[in-house]
Chains A and B, each alone.
Chain A
Amino acid sequence: MLKQIVRRLGTAVPSLIGVVIVTFLLTRVLPGDTAAYFAGPAATPQAIAEIKTKLGLDQRLPVQFLAYVKDLATGNLGMSLTTGQPVFEDIRARLPASAELTLLGLLLSVAVSVPLGILAAVRQGSWIDHLCRVVATAGVSLPVFFTGLLLVYVFYYKLGWAPAPMGRLDFIYSAPDTVTGFYLIDSLIAGDVELFRAAWSQIWLPAVTLAIFSLAPIARMTRASMLSVLASDFVRTARASGLKPSKVVMGYAFRNALLPVITTLGMVFSFLLGANVLVEKVFAWPGIGSYAIEALITSDYAPVQGFVLAMAILYVLLNLAIDILYGLVDPRVRIEA
């Protein structure tokens, strides 16, 4: 098993190289002269030339690329002009907020969509099947920022069930001691139930927004994959042998149907990480998405590039984790590999 994991780690290397090359190219095609941009509007040509030498922009491209890779290896992503901090530090400080939101969104989504998909497949043609189809079609058409705003209007303005969409915690609370960086977990570790409740009241609405968005592909895939497995011979055999329906569906069919669903998760993550940026903007969530948006608006490019790189690496790693999970769920993959 360990050998396979190592081999799968190897397959991620070309993706990572590709990601680094693309982000390097994105750095080099900045609009206008990068050196002039760093020198500021009032710089003399001499000052620009100096900065050019200092940044290594007068070197040939391969040399610049090597320097860029060396910077990356030491965690140097440049400085943010707006916060005055190294981009690496900024991203590290804000990543837990994004991760907590995205993971909770995914968890909620899986908790609803997988049972929905199973029920839709088992009771094909019933109302729950139609519900599944409506959810799947509507889910892919809803702009995630619009869903978020609708939920804010209904649950904050109309019903008052949620606080104003203003970040992770109301200002009267202070953040729990950092253990995992996830407020929900950290507050429980600190034994502060009230703080947990405060953090939960802020996070549930954006998490539901993300969940609604990612519901569609998972539910659709679960349904399709369950349908094809339920029609297969081994399920018929299991039924004919007199096994309980619940045992057939959950023990036999579902475990086999799980594989395509796990594959879909890779695609879902691609959407989720993008949608996360929009949701963070709607709910003023202090994650790396809103960090990148603030930087974009002020034309502060280093954070944007750092953000794109961080997201891409995260995505490659998530896909890797999904691959490994695949091996755990399906023993056949383990033997063949």
Chain B
Amino acid sequence: MSLAATDAAPKDSLFSHARHIVAENPVTGIAFGLFALFALAALIGPYVVPHDPLASNTSAALQPPSATYWFGTDQLGRDIFSRVVVASRLDMIIAVASVALVFVAGGFAGIASGYFGGWTDRIVGRVSDTIMAFPLFVLAMGIVAALGNTVTNIIIATAIINFPLYVRVARAEANIRREAGFVQAARLSGNSEMRILLGHIAPNILPIMMVQVSLTMGYAILNAAGLSFIGLGVRPPTPEWGIMVAEGASFIISGEWWIAFFPGVTLMLAVFCFNLLGDGLRDLVDPQRRT
């Protein structure tokens, strides 16, 4: 271990640091495993599930979990296990797309406002203050209602409500570095402001932004599932965790727990996994802020 650490290149030391963190906190390791499982389900899920997620079979409706139907069947006799697995693709797409969108937009706005200051800062600050003046889920509801009830608009709404968080982090980090030595060197060698912004500052704050990404991913999934739970965005019979919980909600009071339970638990595990990953990544990137 010490031998590896002494003659290791920076990349190796990062790797051994990562291994150290996983060893110290096995929960992060579990989170990585869970993440791999969700990624796999999103990638190949639709091709390997035992039943067709959309095929209804009324003779097998409302069956509790069994060897044939691992998670039971819903009121139309559809296999819940297959639907939960297939749904992971849509849920992941919504989360990844909205986070990617806000990563680019919020990250750029934040860097620009931290680097340039002045009017850029004032306008960006005003916009994110206004977003923060709303309860975020309520704002997302309003945006989807106004733009139209589609999955794309759920992605946009989720990106908008996360915008202030990204701006805040990117702005603070860019602000620290605006007069740093490497920035002044870049400026003296005749780089344009935009080039310094994107080529010199942005790569430097990338690690911290990546932490932000994994911290907000869980929230993005939760938010999207909440919106589809109240009937926005995803429409039946498309399998999606939030809407599946909503479909199962009316059966809870008559005791058919499995319809809402399995998609709900999966949703919870996905959010849990991303939150733990975020904490783990933060330990890796920014050891001072360890909790």
Task: Give chain A's interface residues, CB within 8 Å of chain B.
Answer: 14-16, 18-19, 21-23, 26-27, 29-31, 137-138, 140-146, 149-150, 152-153, 156-157, 164-165, 224, 269-275, 277-278, 281-282, 292-293, 296-297, 301, 304-305, 307-308, 311-312, 315-316
Q: What CA separation (Å) do A307 and B138 show in the bound complex?
A: 8
Q: Is the CB of B275 within 8 A of A270?
A: no
Specify which of B126, B135, B249, B253 is in contact with A274 (CB 8 Å cutoff): B135
B129 contacts A by Cβ under 8 Å? yes
B275/A146 in contact, CB under 8 A:
no
Contact of B147 among A31, A156, A270, A282 (CB under 8 A): A31
Are B139 and A141 in contact, CB atoms less than 8 angstroms apart?
no
Knowing A141-B271, A275-B137 are in contact, say whether A146-B264 is a contact too (CB < 8 A): yes
Contact with A along B120-158 (1 / 0, CB 8 A): 000000100110011111110111011110000000000
Extra inter-chain contacts (12) besides given A31-B146, A149-B245, A308-B139, CB under 8 Å = A18-B133, A21-B130, A31-B147, A140-B218, A142-B268, A146-B265, A270-B134, A274-B226, A281-B230, A304-B141, A305-B142, A315-B135
Chain B residue at smallest Cβ distance from A23: B142
Q: Are B135 and A269 in contact (CB under 8 A)?
A: yes
| 22 intermolecular pairs with C-beta atoms under 8 Å apart | A14-B126, A14-B129, A18-B133, A23-B142, A26-B142, A26-B145, A141-B271, A143-B229, A157-B253, A157-B257, A271-B137, A273-B138, A274-B137, A277-B141, A296-B231, A301-B145, A304-B141, A304-B145, A307-B142, A308-B134, A315-B135, A316-B133
Given contacts A15-B130, A143-B268, A165-B253, whether A149 and B260 have CB atoms under 8 Å apart is yes
What residues of A have a CB within 8 angstroms of the CB of B136 in the complex?
Answer: 270-271, 274
Using Cβ atoms and an 8 Å threshold, which residues of chain B touch A138? 272
Report if B80 contacts A (CB, 8 A).
Answer: no
Interface residues on B, range: 35 or more
Assess A141 versus B135: contact at CB under 8 Å? Given A149-B252, A156-B253, A308-B141.
no
Task: Point out the residues of chain A lying under 8 angstroms from B230, CB to CB.
Answer: 277-278, 281, 293, 296
Which of A152, A224, A296, A312 is B133 in contact with, Cβ under 8 Å? A312
B275 and A137: CB pair below 8 A?
Answer: yes
Whether A143 and B267, one on each chain, are in contact in the complex, defined by CB atoms closer than 8 angstroms, is yes
Across the A-B interface, give the 9 residue pairs with the lowest CB-CB distance, nearest first: A274-B137, A18-B130, A146-B264, A308-B142, A273-B135, A141-B272, A31-B148, A26-B146, A15-B133
B174 beta carbon closer than 8 Å to chain A? no
- The reply to whether B141 and A296 contact each other, CB–CB distance below 8 Å, is yes
Contacts of A141 in B (CB 8 A): 218, 268, 271-272, 275
Q: Are A145 and B226 in contact (CB under 8 A)?
A: yes
Chain A contacts for B126, CB-based, 8 A: 14, 18
Most buried by A among B145, B242, B257, B264: B145
Which residue of A has the minimal Cβ distance to B274? A141
The residues in B between 197 and 240 inclusive whose CB is less than 8 angstroms from any CB of A are 218, 222, 225-226, 229-232
* B29 CB → nearest A CB, Å: 16
CA–CA, A165 and B253, complex, Å: 8
Residues of B within 8 A of A142 (CB): 268, 271
Query: A310: nearest residue on chain B (CB-CB)?
Result: B138
Q: Is B276 an interface residue, CB under 8 A from the partner?
A: yes
Q: Is the CB of B142 within 8 A of A304?
A: yes
Asked if B276 and A157 sit within 8 Å, CB to CB, the answer is: no
Q: A26-B146, A30-B146, A296-B232 are in contact. Are A270 and B135 (CB under 8 A)?
A: yes
Residue B10 interfacial (CB < 8 Å): no
| Residues in B whose Cβ lies below 8 Å from that of A308 | 134, 138-139, 141-142
Residues of A within 8 A of B138 (CB): 273-274, 277, 307-308, 311-312
A247 vs chain B, min Cβ distance (A): 29
Q: Name the distance in Å between B15's Cβ and chain A's nearest Cβ.
A: 26
Q: Which residues of A contact B145 (CB under 8 A)?
A: 26, 296, 301, 304-305
Are A18 and B253 in touch, CB under 8 angstroms?
no
Bound-state CA distance A150–B242 (Å) is 15
Taking a contact as CB atoms under 8 Å apart, the answer to whether A19 and B134 are in contact is yes
Complex Cα gap A269–B138 (Å): 12
Question: With A and B bound together, what is the CA distance between A21 and B131 in angstroms?
Answer: 11
Q: Tell me the complex Cα distance, A164–B253, Å.
A: 7
Q: Which residue of A lies closest to B231 (CB)?
A: A297
Complex alpha-carbon distance, A312 and B130, angstroms: 10
Decide: A146 near B252, CB < 8 A? Known: A296-B232, A305-B142: no
Contact between A27 and B133, CB atoms less than 8 A apart:
no
The complex places the Cα of A301 from the Cα of B144 at a distance, in Å, of: 11
> B141 contacts A19, CB within 8 Å?
no
| Interface pair A146/B260, CB less than 8 Å apart | yes
The minimal Cβ–Cβ distance linking B66 to chain A, given in whole angstroms, is: 20
Q: Residue B255 at the A interface, CB < 8 A?
A: yes
B135 near A278: Cβ-Cβ < 8 Å: no
* Chain B residues within 8 Å of A15, by CB: 129-130, 133
Contact of A312 among B135, B226, B249, B271 (CB under 8 A): B135
Q: How far is the CA of A144 from the CA of B231 in the complex (A)?
A: 16
* CB-defined contacts of B246 to chain A, threshold 8 Å: 145
A138–B272 Cα gap in the complex (Å)? 7
Give the complex CA separation of A153 and B260 in angstroms: 11
When C-beta atoms are compared, the residue in chain B nearest to A269 turns out to be: B135
